Structure 1
Amino acid sequence: MGVKRGDIIGLSGRNVPEWLIAHFGVQMAGGCPLCLPYQEREDQITKLLNSVGSVKMLIMDPGVEGRNCHISEYVVDKGNGKVECKSIPALENVILFYPNERMSSAYTVAELCSRHVDLELPRIDPEDVALVSLTSGSSGFSKAIPSSHHALVVIAWHCYSQFLHRADKDIFYNDRPFSWIAGYPAWEMAACGTRVTLTNALHSSSMVNAVKTATNFITKEKATQAFLVPSILELVMRRKIPLKIKRAITSGVVAHTSLLECIDEICDELQVTYGMTEMGIVCSRVFTSDDKSSVQNMLLGVRPSPWVEVKITDDHGHLQPVGQRGNILIRSKKRFTGYLNHDLPPPTEDLLLKSGWFYPKDGGYVTEDGLLFVEGRLQEMIQVFGRKIYPFEIENVIKAKSNVIAATVLPIKDMETGDHVPSAAIIYQPQNEDSMESMQVYLRKEFNITEENQLLECLYVPQVIVGFKTFPALANGKLDREAIRKTMQRKLTKEQIGRLSFQ
């Protein structure tokens, strides 16, 4: 099909064998897979492809009953099967994972595998781009991150050193899409273990159904270890859904101490990781039942992986003392060199290119014993009267209430003072919701706010509290904070509209 060294090939599909065949086939031909979200809108795919550059081929999963064919139909003439799409001028071919009557003229992965081709595969340089992955898009648009073959080996080494699997005994459950770094099979390749996955974990109608599906498969397949995001672990515990595994592995920007409750109840060990698409997994730590009583912080600290350096700086780039809050910077042998479709701010780019330090825009601190405590996204900080706190400090208290299933705290700008005060989105147990006033009373009591320190109410007590049945999610499963903000903006009262804004 004419794939040459350095060609970027779009790849979109579910967790099926054809995805892996296409992925490694493109790499063996010297090309570079661009991992696209499954069932993305045509306009978003067009925007992504054009922002990345000369994407000459799309390899697509038609989906159940051809539900994903809308993208290929958008660029292919049904009459002659030729690609005719002025909005993506570089595109030359579209290949389907398997046949579909809506696109009967398209080649399939199976057809290409059955061909006998007498040619010599190109020699691959370790620094050739091997993969282009996408960020979550939480900032409004997914950024494209190129990784070399060497970088993928480093990621695999991090996995091997952090995730202790025994190939002869361990079965690892991971339902993350193959197109994500967290779902990419480097974990299993490094450990030589057996993986159990779902074809499409994002099709569930609700988070509760997703949790039940996951736990059923884990039990059925006798998985010994499982990658479960914090929200799933919390739901399993709150809903008392039966589950027992040797180790639960979780990842997120912030890891609350409450996650330790799953030890002995759900798992023998809990492994907390910290990472990002740009760098892979950079920190990790395993907790056991002995840690449940010894951990004193509100958050769980993690240790840097081999070949990873971490430092904390102030806003001017100066190193912060141990225990002092600041900006987290990461440096690793897996060098991140920038995005294909997004320019870094000049100071960040200079720092990255000169010294290799990457600034993920997370805040936290380090301790004397070398632990990193990640407190949250810097842009999500609550700031009142010059004092700053992270949302988790309020979220932990809200989630401690027995009638709360989940909660997220977001900053909202006070137009009069310029401060960023807290607002809260809460999922309550059915038929057991609190009024905004009763939740505020509860928080005043928990934070010990009295007449002597009542200014702290602006910092710790949300002025806007909205109940949700479920939280909207991005295509990668992360919380869609922008959608939550828009919903909460619509819920503002007439008095609040002129004074508070999520914009």
Structure 2
Amino acid sequence: MSDSYLYCNTVLDIPYTTFPDLLKRKARESPDVELCIFIDDDSARSTLTFGDLYKKATKFAKTLVKMGVEKGDIIGLKGRNVPEWLIADLGVQMAGGCSLNLPYQQKEEIMVDLLHEIGNIKILIIDPGNSGQNFQIIKNILHKNLTSEKNDPGKVSQLVEIILFSPHEAFPSLHNVQDLCTCEIVAHLPRIDPEDASIIQLTSGSSGLPKAVKHSHNALVVIGYHSSKTYPSKNEKEILYNTSPFYWSGGYPFWEISRGGTRVTKTNALHFLSTADAAVIACEIIAREKPTRAFFVPSMLEFIIKKNMPLKVPRIITSGTVVYSSILESIGKVCEEYQVDYGSTELGYIAMGLFTAEDASKKKHEVLSCLPVSGIEIKITDDDGFVQPIGQRGKIWVRSIMNFSGYLNHEISIRDIFMKNGWFCQEDGGFLTEDNALIVEGRSQEVVQILGRNIYPAEIENVIKAKSNVIDAIVMPIKDMDTGDLVPTAAIMYRPQCEDSMESMQDYLRNEFKITAENQLLEYMYIPHFIISLKEFPLLENGKPNRNDIRQTILRNIDCKKYDLSFKY
């Protein structure tokens, strides 16, 4: 039997250049093409062209140089999906700085902790918010930096300036992006090398304080070309609907600037009352703007399909979590093809898959597979690091042309995340199929472990979500104090007024897993020992379920005499 190793021998013609240079090329080729269409909270529409972004970012960069920004300086950037975010981000890069992409609705104490851990944040560029949501954060930072002692934890050391996205009457003395990007400043912009730092992105923070990942300009170009060239379409004009925040790796404008395509986005991706509200608005915008492709996280997509909502777009892209093959049944109804992306903040795109109606009739696995993108190697190993045979589950390891060397703010042992010769552990579990494709089944550290057997949550989640009254489900292991096994628990989001009791759901699962007197151990392994119902899953800033908060909710309600509440996986 063959070993679980994959590589991509396709070579993409990726230029060795900087990200601002890519923008410059697109601005020269098609200055009047809309790079982004912004839909605000009142459904008002505004646009930004490639030409305007390049001109405004260049002017903003010159003002930063005049203010004293030098090559390598880290500049914090915190805001909504608005033109000023793009102008500031590209302007910082043109000035030779490195843009630290901060979540817009991140709590002040978390943001300050991040700034302290990363260190040497020279300027903070911040969106005051449509209704002044960040007013207090700005006020507190200004006050503490002006009046506090050096050892005050609330003070951001090295910070010399705060720049607002737009003018605000409460801070008349502060500069703002809207004004600075129109100034005619005489300043020399530094020459930038493709290996210079360009942006710092944050991981989701599902296990604590987000980890900071620094990307070079070359890395941004590689990610951009992976996004636009791996599965290109034949459309001359491409429009992408994607409301993911710019600061999230799945929302950063890699595709737009490398492809020269147009992005349609909500200015505040988190300004929704519920999943249902977000789905309705998404369908309305897509019907009006008519994009050629649309990005949805799997849970949102499943909600739209289950509710039979009026959605039709040529290609739907999904990623971020496990994607089940049952979704292919909707081809011809909501789209003509699905693109599944698998990646990480550390390495960018790792693998992709493109599925059409033909694939729907011959699906072999519960989870959709994907293939490595150009410059990527993948292998599956056991816990000791030895490569597994084809079909055997294990840890996913990746080696990439992207140069990731560790986190800026986490002292994680290199041995914990790397193997020799540059292999990086994704902390995901999965296996390779006989036709040489990757199946991703979820986080490897979240596996249910009973009698030495690993059971991935996806195996149980898939069955729960197949029930018509279920919107979403998350399965997590918890330690049984008697046996030491990691047994399954579940959090389930039901349709309104359609909630099952825990016993009813357990009975359903016993039937689906065909548990009888002959195989009673399967009940211990596959039936969640505790189930909690939630109206909505708490979300991280990037839109993913906050698994840590969900876990804490389960722990608050579970029998502390039977399960080890202190266990951490």
TM-score (norm 1): 0.95
Tell me the amino acid that sits aligned with residue 308 of structure 2: K
Indicate whether 1:437 and 2:503 are aligned.
yes
Residue 348 to residue 487, structure 1, CA distance change in 2 (3 Å): closer
Tell me the amino acid that sits aligned with residue 279 of structure 2: V
Secondary structure, counterpart of 2:431 in structure 1: strand
On the 8 A contact 1:62/1:96 being kept in 2, the answer is yes
Alignment partner of 1:48 out of 114, 117, 120 = 114
Alignment partner of 1:132 out of 190, 200, 204 = 200
Shift of 1:350: 5.3
On the 8 A contact 2:302/2:327 being kept in 1, the answer is yes
Aligned to 1:357: 423
Distance in 2 (CA, whole Å) between partners of 1:54 and 1:155 is: 27
Alignment partner of 1:28 out of 94, 98, 103 = 94
Alignment partner of 1:383 out of 427, 444, 449 = 449
Aligned to 1:180: 248
Residue 183 to residue 55, structure 1, CA distance change in 2 (3 Å): same
Indicate whether 1:107 and 2:175 are aligned.
yes
Tell me the amino acid that sits aligned with residue 256 of structure 1: Y
Indicate whether 1:476 and 2:539 are aligned.
no
Aligned to 2:367: 299
Distance in 2 (CA, whole Å) between partners of 1:96 and 1:110 is: 9
Q: Deviations over 1:407-461 (max 9, x none)?
A: 1111111111111111111122222222111211111111111112112211011
Unaligned runs of 5+ in 2: 1-66
Aligned to 1:269: 337
Distance in 2 (CA, whole Å) between partners of 1:346 and 1:333 is: 18
Q: Deviations over 1:213-254 (max 9, x none)?
A: 111111111112101110111010111110000000000231
Unaligned runs of 5+ in 1: none
Deviates more, 1:163-172 or 1:14-23: 163-172
Q: Deviations over 1:232-288 (max 9, x none)?
A: 110101111100000000002311112212211110001111011111111101111
On the 8 A contact 2:489/2:530 being kept in 1, the answer is yes
Shift of 1:343: 2.1
On the 8 A contact 1:175/1:196 being kept in 2, the answer is yes
Deviates more, 1:141-150 or 1:213-222: 213-222
Distance in 2 (CA, whole Å) between partners of 1:441 and 1:361 is: 32
On the 8 A contact 2:292/2:315 being kept in 1, the answer is yes
On the 8 A contact 2:406/2:414 being kept in 1, the answer is no
Aligned to 1:422: 488
Aligned to 2:82: 16
Q: Deviations over 1:335-357 (max 9, x none)?
A: 21111001233423552xx4121
Shift of 1:2: 1.1
Residue 213 to residue 84, structure 1, CA distance change in 2 (3 Å): farther
Secondary structure, counterpart of 2:518 in structure 1: coil
Indicate whether 1:76 and 2:142 are aligned.
yes
On the 8 A contact 1:283/1:302 being kept in 2, the answer is yes
Alignment of 1:63-462 (within 5 A): 63-77=129-143, 86=150, 87-165=155-233, 168-348=236-416, 351=419, 354-462=420-528
Residue 110 to residue 234, structure 1, CA distance change in 2 (3 Å): same
RMSD over aligned Cα atoms = 1.7
Q: Deviations over 1:109-156 (max 9, x none)?
A: 122223332221111111111110000001111000000011111111
Distance in 2 (CA, whole Å) between partners of 1:464 and 1:335 is: 42
Shift of 1:167: 6.4
Q: Deviations over 1:1-34 (max 9, x none)?
A: 2110000000001111111111111111100000
Distance in 2 (CA, whole Å) between partners of 1:36 and 1:146 is: 13
If asked which structure has higher relative contact order (CA below 8 Å, sep 6+), I would say 2
Residue 34 to residue 313, structure 1, CA distance change in 2 (3 Å): same
Indicate whether 1:499 and 2:562 are aligned.
yes
Secondary structure, counterpart of 1:306 in structure 2: coil
Shift of 1:194: 1.2
Residue 229 to residue 502, structure 1, CA distance change in 2 (3 Å): farther
Tell me the amino acid that sits aligned with residue 366 of structure 1: L
Residue 98 to residue 397, structure 1, CA distance change in 2 (3 Å): same
Tell me the amino acid that sits aligned with residue 560 of structure 2: I
Aligned to 1:463: 529
Tell me the amino acid that sits aligned with residue 404 of structure 2: F
Tell me the amino acid that sits aligned with residue 98 of structure 1: S
On the 8 A contact 2:315/2:336 being kept in 1, the answer is yes
Residue 165 to residue 24, structure 1, CA distance change in 2 (3 Å): farther
TM-score (norm 2): 0.85
Alignment partner of 1:60 out of 126, 139, 151 = 126
Secondary structure, counterpart of 1:46 in structure 2: helix
Identity of aligned residues (%): 52
Residue 36 to residue 254, structure 1, CA distance change in 2 (3 Å): same
Residue 77 to residue 430, structure 1, CA distance change in 2 (3 Å): closer
Tell me the amino acid that sits aligned with residue 311 of structure 2: L
Residue 452 to residue 236, structure 1, CA distance change in 2 (3 Å): same
Distance in 2 (CA, whole Å) between partners of 1:17 and 1:29 is: 18
On the 8 A contact 1:409/1:424 being kept in 2, the answer is yes
Distance in 1 (CA, whole Å) between partners of 2:286 and 2:418 is: 46
On the 8 A contact 1:171/1:225 being kept in 2, the answer is yes
Shift of 1:165: 4.5
Secondary structure, counterpart of 2:459 in structure 1: helix
Residue 450 to residue 287, structure 1, CA distance change in 2 (3 Å): same
Tell me the amino acid that sits aligned with residue 193 of structure 2: D
Distance in 2 (CA, whole Å) between partners of 1:191 and 1:84 is: 47
Distance in 2 (CA, whole Å) between partners of 1:32 and 1:395 is: 40
Secondary structure, counterpart of 1:64 in structure 2: coil
Tell me the amino acid that sits aligned with residue 339 of structure 1: Y
Tell me the amino acid that sits aligned with residue 198 of structure 2: A
